[in-house]
Amino acid sequence: MEAPLTILYSHRLRGDLALLPRLYTFIERLKAEHSEPGRALLLDLGDSCASEVFPCALTGGRSTLIALDAMGYDAANVRGALAQDDRARLEAMFLNITLIDEAHHLEKHGAVVGHPTASAASALYVEIDPAETTTLANGRLRLAGIDGGQVGMARLDGDDVSGWRLAAQGVFTMPPDVRPTPTISGIIEMILSEARYAQKRQGR
């Protein structure tokens, strides 16, 4: 039997870049408490940007995804939220995060992460579209939608031979006293500075 696999995830961040340095601290705390070393997946279920938020509008949704990459996210749901030219710009930056849409998925730790309509020859398929509740049935894991400032968790036991079992699940709300991680704060400042510069060049 393989070591348990823990999936931590966010949803509905809606371009709130100021939240991310604290969220990173909180995620790292949860990872230490709920996962074995090297046996975690960090996902974003979508709604990472909002068109009314200036960095999102200015960058076509790229700003939050750049921050999530710096935070060590494995994959983010970008279906319907990222134009092809914006996706190409992100791919040219050689980010580590996998941008998941109908044509792209992630394979890691014996699991495949993708969209519900996709099929894959894997004993564990993680659907990146949010669901009403977290469930595991027939090798397909569905993750419950949550709010910004929360982190969802699903812990799985098993392997490709004996099958996977949902051992634990939960939604954790970030306490107000969580301190920001300076490195992520610096990255957010850089993203905002570049967005303001682009805004000025465009005369907005």
Domains of the chain (ranges; CATH) run: 2-201 (3.60.21.10)
The pLDDT value recorded for residue 1 is 62
pLDDT surpasses 70 at 68: yes
pLDDT surpasses 90 at 201: no
How far is residue 100's CA from residue 105's CA, in Å, rounded to a whole number? 5
Cα dihedral across residues 10, 14, 17, 19: positive or negative: negative
What is the identity of the amino acid at 192?
L
What contacts 49, CB < 8 A, 6 or more positions away? 13, 14, 15, 55, 56, 61, 63, 64, 65, 81
Q: What is the mean pLDDT of residues 12-37?
A: 97
The predicted model scores a pTM of: 0.95
